[in-house]
Amino acid sequence: MKNITSKGIIESDTMISLFVLLFMIYLMFNSLNQIITEEKEKELNYLKSKALFFADSLIKNCNELEPEKGIAFYNPEKKRIEENVIDLSLAEKLNEKNFPEKLKQIRIESAGEKLIVVGEKKADCFEARRFVLIHQTGETGVVFVVSCN
């Protein structure tokens, strides 16, 4: 009886040790996966904030020398910038080389037709959309700002 009991104890100790080892490996991979997921979420939130802040800045500011900093229409009669009203002549001067970090594309559409596309969309991107009024045509449009990794 003693030999069978000790042999059973040895086999069950080995099985328990193996089970504990496999469970610990599982926990390590699970925590590693969670860390990777959290980092991806942080990166996505960073891309979202970049695109949203840049889109807001783009349609609320006017800069004739550097249109990447603002394409809003400046009304000389009122002597002020009209927010959410864009000037297509400024938008045509946009240069992809002057985009801030992570910003990859600016696209302006009206009635489903692409008016201006500057830059190239890549993988792992977030696209912010802002509805605007186009000064030259008086139509509504959408400004798309795309930020990518």
Ordered by start, the domain boundaries in the chain are 2-148
pLDDT at 149: 81
Q: In whole angstroms, how far apart are CA 33 and each of 37, 41, 65, 70?
A: 6, 12, 47, 40
Bridge-partner residues for 128, per DSSP?
Answer: 145
Listed residue (103, 147, 110) closest to 125, CA to CA = 147
What is the rounded average pLDDT for all residues in the chain?
87
Are the CB atoms for 96 and 82 separated by under 8 Å? Answer: no
Residue 6 pLDDT > 80: no
Cα 99-54-110 angle, rounded to 5 deg:
95
Q: What's the predicted TM-score (pTM) here?
A: 0.71
Task: Please report, rounded to a whole number, the percentage of residues in the chain having pLDDT higher than 70.
Answer: 93
Confidence of residue 3 (pLDDT cuts 50, 70, 90): very low
pLDDT at 10: 55
Confidence of residue 61 (pLDDT cuts 50, 70, 90): very high
> Which tokens in the block code for residue 116?
């201006």
Print burial letters for 21-48: b (CB count within 10 Å at least 16), e (below 16): eeeeeeeeeeeeeeeeeeeeeeeeeebe
Q: In whole angstroms, how far apart are CA 11 and each of 3, 19, 23, 101?
A: 12, 12, 18, 60
Task: Please report which helix (H) or strand (E) contains residue 47, including its range.
Answer: helix 2-60
Q: Beta-strand (E) ranges in the chain?
A: 72-75, 80-86, 103-110, 113-119, 125-134, 140-148
Residue 106 pLDDT > 60: yes
Read off the amino acid at residue 97: K
Confidence of residue 80 (pLDDT cuts 50, 70, 90): very high
